[in-house]
């Protein structure tokens, strides 16, 4: 882990060190409470990750347990790259299982969004997806976000049913990070099939959280947006 830490430190930006704790709500009572930052941006973290693809899952696990946000993100990016490059079903399953057994370290929205589609979503694309419904019912905010964001892969394949079902499960979630995630995925559904989205909205727009609704209808013409925003 020290090697990754040192490689990331080369890209450390003092301004980002100061900014990131606010941006990722690392203060007391925030969803990222207690997190630490090196001040490294995503493109630079990706560079370091691509230079360390030879690391074993054991070594990645050690990095994933770091107190530093960027170290954990780097570990996840290494996992993503290893998953993409693997031609072995067994290795892909091993990475998928490893990821889901370490979700307590995938503990902010960017960590989820930059990893779960390329591992969980891709692995489940041609498989049973019940695990996503279990994650949606988890007490972990991040596992719940993993469940809905992973479905982006299915949307791109034109398979919308799981996103809609997961959205219904998470419809009245109390946290705005889930409202944003569900709204984002619903918006993606609408890009592929607007009628499917409007059918969903006709059923739920009066009770769904405002943020979720706004995200879902962001690409609609103004008059349609106004219609759905009237409750």
Domain match, 8 and 106 both: yes
193 and 104 both lie in a single domain:
no
**Do 145 and 115 lie in a common domain?**
no
Q: Do both 169 and 218 map to the same domain?
A: yes
Q: Are residues 46 and 133 in the same domain?
A: no
Do 181 and 118 sit in the same domain of this protein?
no
The three state secondary structure string of 185-205 is HHHHHHHHCHHHHHHHHHHHC
pLDDT in tens, 64-118: 999 999 999 999 999 999 999 999 999 999 999 999 999 999 999 999 999 999 9
Q: Are 90 and 123 in contact (CB under 8 A)?
A: no
Q: Are residues 115 and 190 in the same domain?
A: no
pLDDT at 151: 98
Examine the pLDDT at 2 and tell me if it is beyond 90.
Answer: no
Q: What tens digit of pLDDT does each residue of 11-55 get?
A: 999 999 999 999 999 999 999 999 999 999 999 999 999 999 999
Domain membership of residue 114 as a residue range: 1-124
**How much is the pLDDT for 107?**
97
Per the prediction, the chain carries an average pLDDT of 97
pLDDT single digits (tens) 120-148: 999 999 999 999 999 999 999 999 999 99
**Looking at the structure, do residues 117 and 161 belong to the same domain, yes or no?**
no
Number of domains composing the chain: 2
Residue 1 has pLDDT above 70, yes or no: no
Query: Are 20 and 53 in a shared domain?
Result: yes
Residues 194, 92 within the same domain: no
């Amino acid at each position: 882990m020290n090697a990754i830490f040192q490689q990331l430190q080369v890209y450390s930006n003092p301004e980002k060190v100061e900014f990131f704790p606010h941006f990722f709500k690392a203060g007391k009572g925030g969803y990222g409470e207690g997190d630490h930052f090196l001040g490294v941006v995503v493109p630079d973290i990706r560079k370091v990750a691509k230079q360390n693809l030879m690391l074993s899952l054991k070594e990645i696990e050690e990095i994933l347990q770091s107190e530093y946000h960027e170290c954990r993100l780097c570990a996840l990016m290494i996992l993503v790259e290893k998953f993409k490059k693997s031609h072995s079903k067994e290795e892909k399953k091993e990475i998928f299982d490893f990821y889901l057994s370490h979700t307590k370290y995938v503990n902010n929205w960017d960590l989820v969004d930059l990893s779960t589609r390329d591992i969980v979503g891709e692995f489940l694309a041609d498989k049973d997806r019940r695990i996503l419904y279990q994650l949606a019912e988890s007490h972990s905010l991040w596992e719940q976000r993993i469940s809905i964001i992973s479905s982006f892969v299915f949307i791109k394949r034109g398979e919308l049913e799981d996103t809609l079902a997961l959205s219904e499960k998470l419809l009245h979630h109390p946290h705005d990070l889930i409202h944003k995630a569900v709204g984002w995925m619903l918006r993606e559904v609408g890009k592929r099939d607007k009628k499917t989205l409007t059918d969903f909205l006709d059923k739920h727009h009066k009770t769904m959280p405002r943020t979720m609704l706004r995200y879902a209808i962001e690409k609609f013409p103004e008059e349609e947006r106004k219609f759905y925003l009237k409750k």
